Every structure is written in structure tokens, then in C-alpha cells.
Amino acid sequence: MYNFDEIIDRRNTNAMNTDGFRSYIFHADENMKFPYKDEEFIRMWVADMEFATPQVIIDGIKERLDKRIFGYTKIFSNDYYNAFSDWCQRRYGWNFEKKHLVMSNGIIPALYELVQYICKKDEKVLFLTPSYAYFKYAADFSNRTPICSDLIDNDGYYTIDFEDFEKKAADEKTTLFILCNPHNPTGRVWKEEELKKLGKICEKYDVWVISDEIHCDLLRCDKQHIPLAKLFPNYKRIITCMAPSKTFNLAGLMISNVIIPDDNLREVWLSKHYNFDNPLSVAGAQAAYEKGEDWLKELQKYLDKNFEFTKEYLNKNLPKAKFKISEATYLAWVNLEEYFDKTENLPIFFANKAGVLLEGGNMFVQNSDCFIRLNLACPKSILEKGLKRICKAVNEKHHHHHH
């Protein structure tokens, strides 16, 4: 019914994915040269998908276009809330009051603001590492101290070091914990008991929690997402962030949901946060929540197959790579410590030697040396090409070493 094998050309659309890799991955300008032409690269880096947004969303946007005026817009009607709230009820058995929902142009901008509203100048922000770098940047931006609690890597399956976490949460200067649920880059879907333990520790020490749940819809078919706030309905210090951007490949539409149950913090947000909503984004997001679930189910099946394929391919062609299929996200987190030492810049190596753009452990704060993160949200034919190039480059490097 949906064609996830279709290859769509993204050039000449100002796509970050095709045009932004020099600045984003390599902090370089357009003069940086590679042995590959830009269009020859296999792109497995930034977290958007190579799949078309479902037609129901495009139709929703077209309908809004036909209204012909795009003036100042905020979400006033109940339609959007109903669509999103039904989605959460149906998929997670969870709900929230309409007044708790505020909109943001993205979860990252929301984090940057919330850190400032929640933490005083000398206070600390805690998160689990390896981590999406912007959790740290959100702390750095307003000169709050980032504190890392390293996850425990059990042969590719990550768990929380609760003793370490509690020790850091207990510090009276630690006032905010940013949780990634499900976790990027490790792909863990946190279990109920893990979330309960985390939440209880935060409650015990009055720590605020921002639960970034942007990947919550992108689970393997047999997994279930639990919003942290669902387990702690009376703890008002949990802020939940969700968005249609990853799920439906709408990142460029810049619309995110932020659920703030605490009245005081929400007042601060509403008084300081300058926000109108893009009318086309509202229409697209609403259509996604109302009519996109069917497409999402098919997408999940396709991604499951891509993960299986990746696992088999690496087992066969790069047997010393350590990789467990991610429970969530479309991102594979692969440990190459048997092939590289910690000093190697992996994104540079793979760009030059394999013609593959990917992100290395250096982009995930710490506890991530020798890892690469691969975006598997692409047609299988492209995935196969990318994996082939990756394995060939690593094996050739090894071949030279041993002779």
C-alpha cells in the first residue's frame, strides 16, 4: 500500500540531509573536499527519513492551503488537542489536560528555554550518557553545569546505573533531569520498573524532569512505550515533549508538543515564550494524528526488516562489530572498538574511505568512543549499499594493518 522502496531525490530542496553535512558533521565550509561527489555519498546521518511523508498529511496541508490566508496563527480550536490527545490515549493509554499543552517550534528550542526557567545560575542539569548532544548544549547555552550519569553497556544492551544516578540526583544543586524516553542513541525503550525507579528518585529529591519522548512512536513492532508522566500523575514536575516530526518525517515543519502540568512553570512559559504556530504545520500535524496511524504501522514493519537485515549483514561481514537491534528509533548504535582505537575520527574515516555520511560517538557527549550511529530509515536498496561500503572500508583498513 505504501512504497517505502521508492528513492526520492532530495537535492535542490535546501535539505540539511544533502547540503548541510559539511557544517554539521565536520564543522567545515563548502570548500571541504572528499574523494566522493556529494551526490555519490550514502547518507546515514541526520535523523530524518528518506521516506515520503504520508499522503494524508500532504492532503491536510493542501486543504489548509486552499483557505488562501496565512495570517498569525495559534491553536485556538479543540481539534488539534483532540487529535493528539486521542493518539496518546489510543497508543499509550495516557492523557493530559488541554490547558497543560503548549506548542513549541521544536523540542530542542523548548529545552533551551526550560533549562533557563527551571534552573538557577549555579544549578545543574543531569542526563544519561551516551546522550543526544543537545541535552548538554541546552545546559551549556545558559551556563548551567551538565552532569552525566553513564549507562551500563551489557554487550550492547544498556541499563541505568541507579546508584550513580541517585548520587547525582541527590546533589542539592541538581534541579533538572533530562530524560530521553525512548533513548537516543542506544534505542532503549525504558521498562515500567526502570521509569518508576527514575521517577521515585527524582520525586525524593524534588528534581524536575523533562521527558523527551520524540522517538516514542518509532518502536519495534513488539514493543510498547510508557510515558513517564503516566506513572507519576501527581508529580507535577514532569514535563513531557512529543512531536510528529520524527514519526512522520515532518522535522522541517517545526512543530512540537510540550506538556507542562505545573501551573507556575506554565505561566512562566506562556509569559516568556514567543510563539505563533505555522498554519501549514498545524494542519499537517493534526492530519498525522488523525489519519497517519495506518502508514506508521507499515513504516514500523519496514524498519523492523531493515534492522534485521543490518544485524545479519554485520554478523556476516563485520563479525567483531557489536550491535543489538534497537528497541526504538530508526537509528542503529554500532560498537566498532575491535576495529578502531579511540583516537580515530570515525565520521571522517567513513566519509573518505567509504563514501558514507554517519555520526560518530564524538557527537554523543561521552561513554560513546568507537561507536557509530547509522540512520536506517531509507529504502533497503540504499541501506544495503551503505552497509556494503562500511564493511568493505573497515575490512580493507584491517587487511592493511595485518600485512
pLDDT at 401: 60
Task: Tell how far CA 344 is from the center of its chain.
Answer: 25
pLDDT class of 355 with cuts at 50, 70, 90 = very high
Instruction: Give the cell for residue 188.
Output: 532503549
- Beta strands 124-129 and 174-180, pairing class: parallel
pLDDT at 50 over 90: yes
The model's pLDDT over 52-107, given as tens digits with 9 standing for 90+, comes to 999 999 999 999 999 999 999 999 999 999 999 999 999 999 999 999 999 999 99
Q: 313-322, pLDDT tens digit by residue?
A: 999 999 999 9
DSSP string, 106-146: -HHHHHHHHHHHH--TT-EEEEEES--HHHHHHHHHTTPEE
Confidence of residue 1 (pLDDT cuts 50, 70, 90): confident
User: Where in 155-284 does DSSP place strands (E)?
Assistant: 157-159, 174-180, 208-212, 238-242, 256-259
Q: Is the confidence at residue 270, as pLDDT, over 90?
A: yes
Q: What are 152's strand-pairing partners?
A: 159
pLDDT digits (tens, 9 = 90+) for 119-177: 999 999 999 999 999 999 999 999 999 999 999 999 999 999 999 999 999 999 999 99
Number of C-beta neighbours around residue 222 at 10 A: 8
Q: Which element (helix H / strand E) includes 289?
A: helix 279-291
Q: What is the mean pLDDT of residues 174-190?
A: 98
Average pLDDT of the chain, as a whole number: 97
Distances 168 to 12, 13, 149, 323 between C-alpha atoms, Å: 47, 45, 8, 29
Contact between 320 and 338 under an 8 Å Cβ cutoff? The reply is: yes
Which residue, chain included where needed, has cell 506508521?
296
pLDDT value of position 402:
55
Q: Which residue has the cell 542539569?
A: 125
The per-residue pLDDT for range 192-224, each reduced to its tens digit, is 999 999 999 999 999 999 999 999 999 999 999
Per-residue pLDDT, 275: 86
- Percentage of the chain beyond pLDDT 90 is 98
Q: Does position 305 have pLDDT exceeding 80, yes or no?
A: yes
Measured CA distances, 270 to 98, 344, 361 (Å): 14, 46, 37
Strands 356-357 and 42-43: parallel
Residue 371 C-alpha cell reads as 561507536
Give me 274's grid cell. Answer: 514567543
Q: What is the mean pLDDT of residues 258-279?
A: 96
Q: What is the pLDDT of residues 339-351, one digit of tens each?
A: 999 999 999 999 9
DSSP structure class, residue 207:
-
pLDDT tens digits along 217-231: 999 999 999 999 999
Q: Is the pLDDT of residue 41 over 90?
A: yes
Residue 167, classed as helix, strand or coil, is helix
The per-residue DSSP string of 360-397 comes to: EGGGSSSS-TTEEEEE--S-HHHHHHHHHHHHHHHHHH
310 closest CA partner among 228, 264, 375, 229: 375
Burial class (CB in 10 A: 0-12, 13-18, 19+), 6: exposed
One-letter identity of residue 136: K
pLDDT tens-digit readout, 366-379: 999 999 999 999 99
Mean pLDDT of 288-292: 98
Cβ atoms of 176 and 125 closer than 8 Å:
yes
CB-CB contact of 332 with 376 (8 Å): yes
Q: CA torsion 168→171→177→179, rounded to 10°?
A: 20
